[in-house]
Amino acid sequence: MTLNGKAAIVGAYEHPTRLATHLSVVRLHADVAKGALEDAGLDKGDIDGYFCAGDAPGLGTATVAEYLGLKLRHVDSTECGGSAPILHVAHAAEAIAAGRCNIALVTLAGRPRAMMEEAKAAAAAAAQAGQAKGPPKTALKAPDPDAPELAFELPYGPATQNLYAMVAKRHMHEFGTTSEQLAWIKVAASHHAQHNPNAMLRKVVTVDDVVNSPLVSDPLHRLDCCVMSDGGGAVIVARPEIARELSRKSGRPVVMVRGTGEAPKHGMGGFMDLTYSAAAWSGPMAFAEAGVTPADIQYASLYDSFTITVLMQLEDLGFCRKGEGGRFVMDGNLISGVGKLPFNTDGGGLCNNHPANRGGMTKIIEAVRQLRGEAHPAVQVPDCQLALANGIGGALASRHTAGTLILERV
C-alpha cells in the first residue's frame, strides 16, 4: 500500500525553551501538544491517535494520554531514538490509511540539559557537605543491562562522540574527506541560526573557527558536535480531506506526505561497512513512493548530531555520489540563498537545539515551515514545493535506524 497522498501534516510546534529548569518532561509534552493543536486549529477532543517514543515518561502513550485527557483509538510507541518522530509520521499515515484513526498527535520532549545541571548542583552540595565519593553522576541514560551487545562492546569504551569519529575517520581514509570540508556544514548551520532568536548558538562561525575548536574525538572538533538542549516539539497528522478543510479556514497550504521510508542498520555479524548509513535504504523507498528524485528536492532537513552525520546522509540519500559529500558541502552549498541545497534553516542540532538528545522532530517542523512559507525571511526557500526530512536514531558506527519523509506543498 502506498502512503503517497494518504495523510498530511496539519499542525507543528517547537517549544521555545532550551533549558527547562522548572518544567517536567510530561509538562513539556503537554506544552508542545497544545502548541500543535493551536497551530492546526484543532481541539484535543479531535485527536484519536497518539504517537510517542522512549522520551515520554511513565508508560509512554498511556501516561501522556492520561495527562492530556485524550480519548484514543490508536497508539504507537515505536522507539528508535532520534529518528522516531519521522517514523511516527509514516506510521500515523499508515494508521490513517487503514482507518485506525483520523487525526494523530506526535510528541517529543525532554530535559537532559536541566537534569545535568541538577546533577552538578547536587554533586556540589554533597561535596560541600563532605559527602562526595567520586565524580558526580550524570543525567544521561545508562546502558540497558540486558542489551546483548554490552558484553562485547562495553570493554572498549564506546561513546557517542567516538562512534561518530570512527565513521568520519573512515570516510576520510576512503575518500579523502577533510576536516575543513566537514566544517562547512557547521558554517552553513550557523549562517541560518543567526536569524533564529531561540537558537542556542547564533554566532556565525568560519571554517577556521571549527577546525581550531578543541578536538573532542579525532577527527571531530567541539564545533562538529550538536548542542544539548531541553524542549521538544509536536506535529499533527490528519486525513487529506480534514487537511483541506483546515487549509480552507486558515489560508495555509496543505503539507502532504508523499514518500516514507525506514530501515535499520546494525553490526551485520561483523561485516560492517562504516561508509554508509541506513539512509541508503530508507531514502530510495521514500523517493520511489513519492515518485520524485533527489534533484527535485528544494529543501532538506538532515539529522545533524555531528557534521559527519549530515555528510553521510547527503551521499546516502542521493544528493551527491558516495565519496563526493566533502566537495558537495564546500563554499556554502548548504546555505539558503547561496547554495543549491539549503539545509536545516533553523540552525539544526548543530546550532539551534537537539531536544531530549533526539533531533528528528525539529527536522519535520522546519520542513513544514519551509513548505508553508513560514521560515524566517532570510532563509526561506522561494516557492518551496518539495522538502525532505531525514532522521538517524542510534549511532552510525554501531546500530541505528534511518527514517525518511518527503513532503509536498499542495
| Percentage, residues of the chain above pLDDT 70 | 97
pLDDT in tens, 43-80: 999 999 999 999 999 999 999 999 999 999 999 999 99
**Per-residue pLDDT at 154:** 86
pLDDT in tens, 94-128: 999 999 999 999 999 999 999 999 998 888 888 88
**Per-residue pLDDT at 182:** 98
**Per-residue pLDDT at 265:** 97
CB atoms < 10 A from the CB of 367, how many?
Answer: 30
* pTM as predicted: 0.95
What is the crossing angle of helices 279-290 and 307-316, to 10°? 50
Distances (CA, A) of 400 to 81, 181, 276, 278, 394: 8, 24, 12, 7, 4
Confidence of residue 135 (pLDDT cuts 50, 70, 90): low
Tell me the domains of the chain and their CATH numbers: 7-113+230-255 (3.40.47.10), 158-228+258-409 (3.40.47.10)
Place of cell 541545497: 341
Q: Between β-strands 220-221 and 215-217, what pairing exists: parallel, antiparallel or unpaired?
A: antiparallel
Distances (CA, A) of 373 to 208, 368, 370, 385: 33, 8, 5, 10
Q: How many CA atoms lie within 13 A of 262 on its CB side?
A: 18
Distances (CA, A) of 258 to 59, 315, 387, 391: 32, 21, 10, 17
Confidence of residue 141 (pLDDT cuts 50, 70, 90): low
SS3 368: helix
Place of cell 509520521: 89
Does residue 93 register a pLDDT over 60? yes
Confidence of residue 376 (pLDDT cuts 50, 70, 90): very high
| Cβ atoms of residues 356 and 141 within 8 Å | no
For the purposes of burial, counting CB atoms within 10 Å of the CB of 61, is it exposed (0-12), middle (13-18) or buried (19 or more)?
buried
CB atoms < 10 A from the CB of 374, how many?
Answer: 15
The H-assigned helical ranges of 255-306 are 279-290
Question: What single string gives the DSSP state of each residue in 299-357?
Answer: EEEE--SBHHHHHHHHHHTTSS-TT-HHHHHGGGTTSTTTSSS-B-TT-HHHHT--BTT
pLDDT in tens, 187-201: 999 999 999 999 999
Confidence of residue 156 (pLDDT cuts 50, 70, 90): confident
The span from the CA of 96 to the CA of 74, in Å, is 10
β partners of residue 13: 234
The span from the CA of 111 to the CA of 124, in Å, is 20
| Cβ atoms of residues 94 and 106 within 8 Å | no
What is the crossing angle of helices 307-316 and 179-193, to 10°? 100
pLDDT in tens, 210-266: 999 999 999 999 999 999 999 999 999 999 999 999 999 999 999 999 999 999 999
Does residue 139 register a pLDDT over 60? no
For the purposes of burial, counting CB atoms within 10 Å of the CB of 326, is it exposed (0-12), middle (13-18) or buried (19 or more)?
buried
Q: How many helices (H) and strands (E) does the chain have?
A: 14, 11
The mean of the pLDDT values for the chain is 95
Place of cell 561535596: 127
